[in-house]
């Protein structure tokens, strides 16, 4: 008679699965079999690359997110407990990105230009380099745009879009997916 093991596993069975899996992963990664729950990954010959592989394996196998930092200072038994506690937490759906309008982007850029270029009210046709901008200004602007809007704005893209209006179009296009990197495509953004 065949029994469906998943029907009778329950919480203890889930914990046993995590335990068996982590013992097997450690054994495979470290090349040793005499492990206990008090074993230390690094004392057993592990390194940061192996720890990265372990974290990736846990994520793939159990669908949970654990950081290298969280895993690094825990012994095997504590790692088992951490993974099991993450498995029992309800999954949180990713938060939607707030809607950003071209006006929001323009207002942000105006504030940044005012600070970086000492230009209190630049118009859409104002040029970053005519107002005294340089490569350091472009680098700072790219970093600030990325931080504010969560999109990677490449320095060559800003160099291809030197006006405030062009940069507004650039960021708006990157956010909406309606614009590829203009620098990579060899064109300027007006």
Sequential pLDDT tens for the chain (190 residues): 444 434 333 344 455 799 999 999 999 999 998 999 999 999 999 998 899 899 999 999 998 888 888 888 889 999 999 999 988 887 666 667 678 899 999 999 999 999 999 988 899 999 999 999 999 999 999 999 988 988 888 899 999 999 999 999 999 998 888 765 555 445 554 5
Report the pLDDT value the prediction gives residue 116, as an integer from 0 to 100.
93
Q: Verify that 115 and 146 share a domain, yes or no.
A: yes
Q: Verify that 14 and 80 share a domain, yes or no.
A: yes
Report the pLDDT value the prediction gives residue 77, as an integer from 0 to 100.
93
Q: Verify that 22 and 68 share a domain, yes or no.
A: yes
Q: Verify that 146 and 81 share a domain, yes or no.
A: no
Position 83 in a domain: yes
Among residues 66, 88, 110, the one where a domain terminates is 88
Among residues 88, 113, 144, the one where a domain terminates is 88
Q: Verify that 167 and 109 share a domain, yes or no.
A: yes
Length of the chain: 190
Position 184 in a domain: no
Position 97 in a domain: no
Position 29 in a domain: yes
Q: Verify that 82 and 108 share a domain, yes or no.
A: no
Position 181 in a domain: no
Q: Verify that 60 and 112 share a domain, yes or no.
A: no
Name residues whose C-beta falls within 8 Å of residue 35's C-beta, 6 or more positions apart in sequence.
23, 26, 27, 44, 76
Among residues 58, 88, 118, the one where a domain terminates is 88
- Domain containing 63 equals 9-88
Position 94 in a domain: no
CB contact at 8 A, 165 and 125: yes
Position 140 in a domain: yes
Position 187 in a domain: no
The structural domain count of the chain equals 2
In this structure, what CATH number is given to the domain that contains residue 68? 1.10.1200.10
């Amino acid at each position: 008679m065949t029994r469906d093991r998943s029907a009778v596993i329950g919480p203890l069975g889930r914990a046993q699965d995590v335990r068996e899996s982590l013992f097997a992963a450690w054994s495979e990664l470290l090349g040793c079999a005499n492990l206990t729950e008090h074993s230390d990954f690094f004392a057993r010959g592990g390194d940061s690359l192996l720890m990265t592989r372990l974290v990736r394996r846990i994520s793939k196998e159990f669908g949970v997110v654990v950081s290298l930092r969280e895993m690094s200072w825990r012994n095997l038994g504590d790692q088992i407990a951490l993974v099991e506690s993450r498995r029992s937490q309800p999954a949180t759906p990713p938060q939607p990105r707030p809607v950003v309008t071209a006006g929001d982007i323009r207002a942000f850029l105006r504030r940044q230009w005012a600070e970086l270029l000492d230009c209190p009210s630049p118009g859409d046709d104002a040029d970053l380099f005519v107002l005294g901008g340089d490569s350091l200004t472009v680098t700072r602007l790219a970093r600030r745009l990325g931080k504010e809007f969560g999109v990677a704005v490449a320095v060559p893209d800003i160099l291809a879009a030197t006006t405030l209006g062009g940069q507004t179009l650039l960021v708006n296009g990157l956010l909406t997916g309606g614009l590829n990197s203009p620098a990579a495509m060899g064109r300027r953004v007006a």
